Amino acid sequence: MSAFALEDADRAACVPCLRRSWLLGELSALLDCNCREDGRLYELLALPDGNLLKALGGRRRAELETRHRGFVGTELERSPGVAELCRHDARFPCALRRPGVPPMLHVAGGLERLRDLVEPPVVAILGSARSTDYGIEMGASLARGLAASGVTVASGLGDAVAAASLRGALEASGKGLAVISGGLDVAAPVKRRGLLERLRGVGCAVGELPCGVRARRWGVAASLRLLAAIADVTVVVEATDSPRELAGARLAQSFGKAVAAVPGRLTSSASRGSHSLLLEGARLIRGAGDVLELLCELDRSAPGAVTPRPLELAPRLRGVLERVGDGADTAGKLIGGTGGADEVLSALSELELMGLLRRGDGGRYVPAQPLPAPGVRYRSSSQMEP
């Protein structure tokens, strides 16, 4: 008996993946209440089903657990023209097969077309919730240029820059891929319904939540994972300097993808985030040509250029890091019976400053993706020895 729930052309997803998507839909409102902070959200979304239910279920926990156990696949609301695709299917995009990215997609526009669109090169265009006319214009012209050169433009529908980019891409060649933050049938704002319809006709729209689930705030942050993973280059057109606005760029950095930014007026707060990205070393984009050039460079130097250089760690730091990875994740467990408290604490601090460890709840340390460090280069004291 096949693991797939229904043997039909539009359903290329197995029951566990469908169940995950269903669960996220059920917990959508709760996720919204609890995730004022993106870091927290990504941590929660990385939890397996059982723990997620435990963390968020609250009063509905018992009911949801019963339904979760009895899930067969038919519970999911479906809408004509929306296909389901999970990573256990061969057609699932390779770029999305990495931890921290949703395991299944709802696709409007057809699986075949999705496969064509996610063929590299793909460029994601990110805007700001407080976009200006300048940003909208830059997004649209960039997207037109890129789509005309055969590059797929991926973006959301949530803000004006993103919507303008998708419009631009559709005008040029139809190579537009929308990442939707709610159910594909209800998610788009009324004024962008038309755009979504055209995308379904020519391009493609994907989302992680099942049909019928309203778009909520957390969905925007969650959809950035898909955008950052699917794109070879992430271009920030406009962003204020709040962590929320820069979340997409940070995710792309942590996935080892190239990040680029369009400069704005120095006095405009809507461009402050893009400017700080530029300062940290993001590529400056003046037009579609610059993006194409960056894509070429990446192609020449792939794949080594974008993977972070393995860190050279002093043996004592490496030892501590490995033990944290092995489960001795609190200062108490690390110090254990040896009594060398200061050395261990000092090593933990150094690792935290390098971005290799992060503090979690209850004094636990969590291994983290090292990010390219802004500002001064940091070397630990032991690395300085000749």
Residues binding other proteins (CB under 8 A): 30, 33-35, 37, 39-40, 44, 54-58, 243, 246, 250, 330-333, 335-339, 341-350, 352-353, 355, 358-364, 374-376, 378-379, 381, 384
Shortest distance (Å) from residue 351 CB to other proteins: 10
Shortest distance (Å) from residue 340 CB to other proteins: 9
Instruction: Pinpoint the alpha helices (H) of the chain.
Output: 15-26, 28-34, 38-45, 49-56, 61-69, 111-118, 133-148, 160-172, 193-202, 217-230, 243-254, 272-279, 288-301, 315-325, 331-335, 341-353
CB distance 22 to 94 below 8 Å = no
Shortest distance (Å) from residue 206 CB to other proteins: 27
- How many residues appear in the chain? 386
Residue 94 or 353: which CB sits closer to other proteins? Answer: 353
Q: Which residue has the tokens 């979340």?
A: 247
Shortest distance (Å) from residue 362 CB to other proteins: 2
Residue 133 or 342: which CB sits closer to other proteins? Answer: 342
CB distance 84 to 107 below 8 Å = yes
Task: Quote the tokens at residue 199.
Answer: 């995308």
Residue 269 or 383: which CB sits closer to other proteins? Answer: 383
Task: Quote the tokens at residue 208.
Answer: 């992680």
Task: Quote the tokens at residue 287.
Answer: 């037009």
Shortest distance (Å) from residue 379 CB to other proteins: 8
Task: Quote the tokens at residue 364.
Answer: 């636990």
Residue 106 or 272: which CB sits closer to other proteins? Answer: 272
How far apart are the C-alpha atoms of 308 and 14, rounded to whole Å? 34
Alpha-carbon distance values, 293 to 99, 215, 287 (Å): 29, 36, 10
Shortest distance (Å) from residue 317 CB to other proteins: 11
Alpha-carbon distance values, 339 to 240, 322, 343, 382 (Å): 47, 19, 9, 21
Shortest distance (Å) from residue 217 CB to other proteins: 15
Shortest distance (Å) from residue 199 CB to other proteins: 32
- How many other CB atoms are there within 10 angstroms of residue 29's CB atom? 14
How many angstroms separate the first and last alpha carbons of the chain?
64
Residue 15 or 371: which CB sits closer to other proteins? Answer: 371
CB distance 352 to 345 below 8 Å = no
